[in-house]
Amino acid sequence: RPFPAVVPHARLLVETDAPYLAPVPFRGKRNEPAYVAHTAKVLAETIGVSKAEIADLTTDNFFRLFGKMPRPAEQSA
């Protein structure tokens, strides 16, 4: 898994793959969008940041890439 470690953080995104290529702990099952959380967790561990940091980073990258898309308002707890 060395590849993510050399990609600039400003270029990282997280996505689910084909329906038949689920992440390792889910292999043999249909891939689901919910598994993106597992992919983000592994990416965070690989580059040495927290899950919260990878969520913020990839969210910022998404909106930078798809700039015309409105960013949702912050939700209060």
Residue pLDDT, tens place only, 60-71: 999 999 888 788
pTM attached to this predicted model: 0.77
Between 15 and 44, the more confident residue is 44
Residue 76 lies in a domain: no
How do residues 19-47 score in pLDDT, each as one tens digit?
778 888 888 888 888 889 999 999 999 99
Q: At residue 43, what is the residue type?
A: L
DSSP state letters, 23-42: -GGGTTS---GGGHHHHHHH
Classify residue 59: in a domain, yes or no: yes
Closest CA to 10 of 70, 60, 71, 68: 60
Count of the separate structural domains present in the chain: 1
Instruction: Decide if 72 is inside a domain.
Output: no
Q: How far apart are CA 53 and CA 21, in angstroms?
A: 26
Structure tokens at 18: 């084909």
pLDDT at residue 75 in the model: 52
User: Does residue 9 sit within a domain?
Assistant: yes
Burial class (CB in 10 A: 0-12, 13-18, 19+), 35: middle
